[in-house]
Chains A and B, each alone.
Chain A
């Protein structure tokens, strides 16, 4: 996994609450057996005016000019600013894969659905929780300011605005450690294989029917 330490990135505002993973990556694209290439279909039903299917030449498709991520000023954005309960619904990891492939490394919202939040960390992405009031003020600043960038520092756990305001955010120590160092957590867990084996032996003795 790619490490994440700091980012000074252009911010794109997606002003909706409860954005679900069906919206982030519609089901027809989940048929792929690969892990990459989902970015062109991120937010497919909002982003294009025609119906998308896997294998289409997306360059030739009809773009929805009203969708915020299609606006010229947000091209190249790496920070997605959005509202509460982002990533609700299906557990599809294709959602963070699509967002990451689209170019987002950081998401800022007042809350996330649990599974989506967890999935982000497995893909070198940082989902940041800030209060609804701060998120609201960031929305106002992004809308009002062309080329609005935020500075994100994972080690310091801060988000800084161009005007010099700094907000702190929390993140679990373990997730932070893995993200800062780009650690593959299967490798980390394998360091505990003796403990897993010992647990398994005790567990089998206590509940032998689980091992039939």
Chain B
């Protein structure tokens, strides 16, 4: 029978099945400081050891500061955050890992940037992490999803997870994306169509000519936001783009195994005639740069649109949701998006902090100045290696000359666990993934956009349609 990519990935990892639940084997376990301490403590209390230490790749990202690195750990003002980072170092020292990139290591960064960059994420793998944006790694034709801390402990102890197979959704995007329309805009347009609950219970495969045309960075952006559509896992089939990206990375298969790996990886696509439980179609030419207006990623419109009015709400529950969102965001229905003025800009996060993202933002910022009404425009590279690459290309200088702050890598203002945050009432153009109430700081107002759109908003002081410039 014709199989979907998801079928192939899931079925090839089943260890045991019972009562409709499968025990699936996990190849790669990514670990960060926030969701792991209780899991390590659980192992310790039960006197258990990790089943396969070599599956673990760890780094500190959520709490790490993006400036003041000259002071080292002592530069982390918040003692609770510092303790969590130190605790990860102690736990890795005690239990072990294949690789650990601690705070300030040259390769440290956001776990979902570091894994692929190191070649630690490979096609055909099952990848988990105590982090919902683990869906990012599905870009490699891997089955990757976020888990809770109890499951982090379960994977450490047994190398397995108890799973019920999801339904399969295919999102087909055919055609050619317009100029300045990016993977981020595709992701937001999809979520605008499916809603944030549309993918609940599904694993999504992104396919079609527009997806094939995306770089690995773009595919990671797209899969990263599968969770924002409600799907734990998003994935893209393996092709030359995938294989070329992996070749030569530190943890990629070496010469003697490379050819065999590639032969297997090329089978990682849905068979012709494979059936999906749901197919969602978008035409690439219809997608314009997107801007969220509300407090959920599904509250999104194109840059030439307006904040929707209540009569467009589909039911009473959504109407109530939108009314709360207008009030929280300080926006009136029917306001043109291009008239929304911003206070801060954040370019970074596991969604959009890779080299291609920084290049796109820098291309817009080059030779310009951040608008006077923008108090802070932050650029936070996804990893130390992305930062080094960007500096080699002179992007740091482009940003600094334009009035952006060039920072050290980490999750930063995507979730504002460190000192980078919005104050109450501040409005931000952000390349991150969530515009929930309080996400970037209590009372802060987030508008999700692509890196180029964020840079353009920083320069203009309000949102602008970069596809028309």
Contact = CB atoms under 8 A, between A and B. Distances in A.
Contacts of B154: 185-186, 189
B232 interface: yes
A117 B352 CA distance: 28
Given A18-B321, A26-B442, A192 B437 contact: no
A186 B41 CA distance: 14
A72 to B, nearest CB: 24
Interface in A61-111: 83-85, 88-94, 96, 111
A209 B261 contact: yes
Between B27, B41, B150, the greatest number of chain A beta carbons within 10 A of the residue's beta carbon is seen for B150
B436 interface: yes
B150 A123 contact: yes
B148 interface: yes
A85 B197 contact: yes
Given A114-B232, A115-B148, A119-B148, A22 B436 contact: yes
Contacts of A118: 147-148, 151
A172 B164 contact: yes
Contacts of A89: 132, 434, 436
Interface residues of B, number: 80
Interface in B154-200: 154, 157-160, 162, 164, 166, 196-197, 200
B197 A177 contact: no
A16 interface: yes
B261 A17 contact: no
B278 to A, nearest CB: 15
A179 to B, nearest CB: 13
A190 B41 CA distance: 18
A208 interface: yes
| Interface bracket on A | 35 or more
Given A88-B230, A210-B125, A212-B257, A186 B48 contact: yes
Nearest to A121: B150
A113 B198 CA distance: 10
Contacts, number: 195
B417 interface: yes
A35 interface: yes
Interface stretch (B78-86, B103-111, B331-339, B449-457): B78-86
B367 interface: no
Given A31-B78, A91-B35, A189 B436 contact: no
B130 interface: yes
Contact of B38 (A16, A33, A203, A206): A33
Contacts of B153: 186
Interface in A176-192: 177, 185-186, 189-190, 192
Contact of B80 (A32, A192, A200): A32
B46 A85 contact: no
Given A113-B230, A189-B158, A209-B253, A200 B147 contact: no
A114 B201 contact: yes
B399 to A, nearest CB: 26
Interface string B120-149: 001011000011101000000000011111
Nearest to A18: B296
B294 to A, nearest CB: 10
B273 interface: no
Contacts of A189: 23, 154, 157-158, 160, 162
Interface in B194-230: 196-197, 200-201, 230
Contacts of B122: 209-210
Interface in B376-393: none
Contact of A88 (B41, B162, B197): B197
A18 B160 CA distance: 30
A174 B230 contact: no
A54 interface: yes
A54 B78 CA distance: 10
A186 to B, nearest CB: 5
Interface in B218-269: 230-232, 251, 253-254, 257-258, 260-261, 264
A83 B87 contact: no
Interface string A115-153: 100110011000000000000000000000000000000
B460 interface: no
A198 B20 CA distance: 21
B268 to A, nearest CB: 12
Contacts of A30: 34, 62, 417
A4 interface: no
B164 A18 contact: no
B321 A16 contact: yes
B147 A91 contact: yes
Interface string A32-46: 111100000000010
Contacts of B159: 196, 200
B462 interface: no
Contacts of A175: 21
A114 B204 CA distance: 14
B308 interface: no
A132 to B, nearest CB: 8
B329 interface: no
Most buried by B among A31, A83, A113, A211: A31
Question: 3 smallest A-B Cβ distances: which pairs?
Answer: A209-B253, A122-B150, A93-B148
Interface of A: 15-18, 20, 22-23, 26-28, 30-35, 45, 51, 54-55, 83-85, 88-94, 96, 111-115, 118-119, 122-123, 172-175, 177, 185-186, 189-190, 192-193, 195-196, 199-200, 203, 206-212
23 contacts: A23-B436, A23-B438, A32-B84, A33-B41, A33-B83, A45-B437, A90-B132, A91-B146, A93-B35, A93-B38, A113-B197, A115-B145, A173-B19, A174-B19, A186-B48, A189-B162, A190-B157, A199-B25, A200-B159, A206-B264, A208-B257, A212-B251, A212-B257
Given A22-B415, A28-B417, A90-B415, 13 more contacts: A26-B442, A30-B62, A31-B84, A51-B442, A85-B196, A115-B132, A118-B147, A123-B150, A174-B21, A174-B162, A175-B21, A200-B25, A206-B264
